Amino acid sequence: MSDFSIDADWSELYVDGEWTPAESGETIDVEDPSTREVVAEVPSASGADVNAAYEAAAEAQTEWAEAPPAQRAAVVQQFLEALQAHSDEVVDLLAHEVGGSAIMGETSIQIASDHAGEAATLPRRMKGEHAESNIPGKENIVERGPKGVVTVISPWNFPLNLSARAVLPAIAAGNSVVLKPSTNSPITGGLLFAKLFEETDLPGGVLNVVTGRGSEIGDRVASHPESDVVSFTGSTSVGQHVAGLAGENLAVPAMELGGNNAFVVTEDADLDRAVDAATFGSFVHQGQVCISINRHVVHEDVYDEYVEKLTERAEELAVGSAHEGGTVVGPIIDESQRDEMLEYVEETVEAGATLETGGETADIDGVDDSLVVEPTVLSDVTNDMAAACNEHFGPIAPVIPFSDVDEAVEIANDTEYGLSGAVHSGDLSVAREIADRMETGNVHINDQPINDEAHVPFSGIGASGVGEYNSDAFLREITETKWISVQHEPREYPF
């Protein structure tokens, strides 16, 4: 049995470079969404465990910050090598823990690897500067150094890469980290990182992992006085609460929150190309992606043909257990998420939309109360219907018609969110006009909205968050500057 398999021992916390049981001795069950069986147990941390993690992080950080850039870069490169060496096992872990298909698992490895590669370059990019002075004979020096202790609260939907994009840059920049993964993904979002870093030269205490229920330790993690940055990915409502707690300690909040992403298709778009993108953008990982397509906004002249083509593609997708080869649409993470999205579909149909396909759960052999939701297409949708105005977070494609560019932009922007979006058009000037007018942090032309490249800044606006991720953007969040001036010549003072 591999140390990285779902059957391995995941029952201890990782604090100060050591595996240790939770103070209470209690554990939390990890359920496989495909089989509905308990496949692992993880520790249920207490407030005392959280305090121990932060004490270790604070103590280790000072020495780690003084480590040469080459040493910090080498550790992150070693992490990348460990991840690559265990990639097949990690893909299997994602299938067991979050119902990720092989496509989802391989994509997670690819994106996490990209973030590791980019993070390994950061230590040599932490450069200060000189600035001219208004005072004769004065030299101004601006130094850049790590913030201190970075808290990472990661989500369950893409736990590997969404943890990696915060943990790895933070460590590379000379910070220490306390990682609190989601209760639904405590292994791939948390404990896995500890095992991978054990194959590196990272000093003890620089990474600490505490697993537990958010209702029990979440507030303590978000508000801990040793925390200097709080990185959170999740819902807007929870993010607002976390940011408020972080703010009490003047910790920097870096929040990627909810989305309601529009996919705009103009009358002269290549429909086959658009539907290809739409199928991926709506149904990969069951639509459980903050930047997936939440609304298809399609010109009325091609609306019927688009709905027909999208419906055909949805019905062709392989649906079932994440452990079956070829599955594209697997299980939803849990009952509450499943029930909420199906309720949105029901409310949307009751409001006058047409259910083209899907709208039900799909049976899996030997499984009671399946969590698999059929790929669903809804036509005759308006922007105020439940599946369109809410972040449904499922394999659901509401299709909304528009008559001209102004209406398309109005529909796309008629939401509190501003995370991602996409435009398909045969005229790039029109596509660019729409993209420029969409009030969102990311827009992708002739593509779909699910994109993440570690060297390109990623952020949301409005209710989709504050702060930025990736490359120099996140480096600014996790470092701080110090102004040092040197008066080389005697200075004249007014008295």
Rounded-to-integer distance, Cα 475 and Cα 237, Å? 26
Q: Quick one: pLDDT at residue 10?
A: 98
Q: Quick one: pLDDT at residue 214?
A: 94
Sheet holding 13-15, edge to edge: 18-20, 13-15, 207-209, 176-180, 149-153, 229-233, 252-256, 465-466
What is the phi/psi pair of residue 301, to 5°? -70, -25
List Cα–Cα distances, 259 to 285, 441, 474, 483, in angstroms: 16, 10, 20, 38
Q: Quick one: pLDDT at residue 1?
A: 77
Q: Which CATH class is domain 13-257+464-482?
A: alpha beta
Angle at 409 between CA 288 and CA 346, to 5 degrees: 45
Evaluate whether 430 touches 408 at the Cβ level (below 8 Å): no
Which fold, 261-445?
Aldehyde Dehydrogenase; Chain A, domain 2 (3.40.309)
Rounded-to-integer distance, Cα 258 and Cα 239, Å? 9
* Token pair in block for residue 404: 């001209």
Q: Is 137 left (phi over 0), alpha (psi -120 to 50) or beta?
A: left
Name the pairing type of β-strands 444-445 and 421-424: parallel
Q: Quick one: pLDDT at residue 251?
A: 97
Each residue's pLDDT tens digit in the chain (495 positions)? 799 999 999 999 999 999 999 999 999 999 999 999 999 999 999 999 999 999 999 999 999 999 999 999 999 999 999 999 999 999 999 999 999 999 999 999 999 999 999 999 999 999 999 999 999 999 999 999 999 999 999 999 999 999 999 999 999 999 999 999 999 999 999 999 999 999 999 999 999 999 999 999 999 999 999 999 999 999 999 999 999 999 999 999 999 999 999 999 999 999 999 999 999 999 999 999 999 999 999 999 999 999 999 999 999 999 999 999 999 999 999 999 999 999 999 999 999 999 999 999 999 999 999 999 999 999 999 999 999 999 999 999 999 999 999 999 999 999 999 999 999 999 999 999 999 999 999 999 999 999 999 999 999 999 999 999 999 999 999 999 999 999 999 999 999
Active site annotation includes 129: no
Point out the catalytic residue in the list 12, 97, 290, 468.
290
Residue 201, SS3 per DSSP: coil
Interval 83-117: pLDDT, tens: 999 999 999 999 999 999 999 999 999 999 999 99
393-432 core/surface letters (b: 16 or more CB in 10 A; e: else): bbbbbbbbbbeebeebbebbbebebbbbbbbbbeeeebbe
Rounded-to-integer distance, Cα 355 and Cα 376, Å? 8
CA atoms within 13 A on the CB side of 476: 8
CA atoms within 13 A on the CB side of 74: 9
Active site annotation includes 256: yes
Bridge partners, 38 (sequence order): 31
Sheet holding 138-146, edge to edge: 129-131, 138-146, 479-487
Sign of CA dihedral 396, 400, 404, 407: negative
Residue 489, SS3 per DSSP: coil
Domain span(s) for CATH 3.40.605.10 in the chain? 13-257+464-482
Evaluate whether 481 touches 142 at the Cβ level (below 8 Å): yes
pTM of the model: 0.97
Residue 396, SS3 per DSSP: strand
Rounded-to-integer distance, Cα 51 and Cα 76, Å? 26
Point out the catalytic residue in the list 12, 97, 226, 256.
256
Domain span(s) for CATH 3.40.309.10 in the chain? 261-445
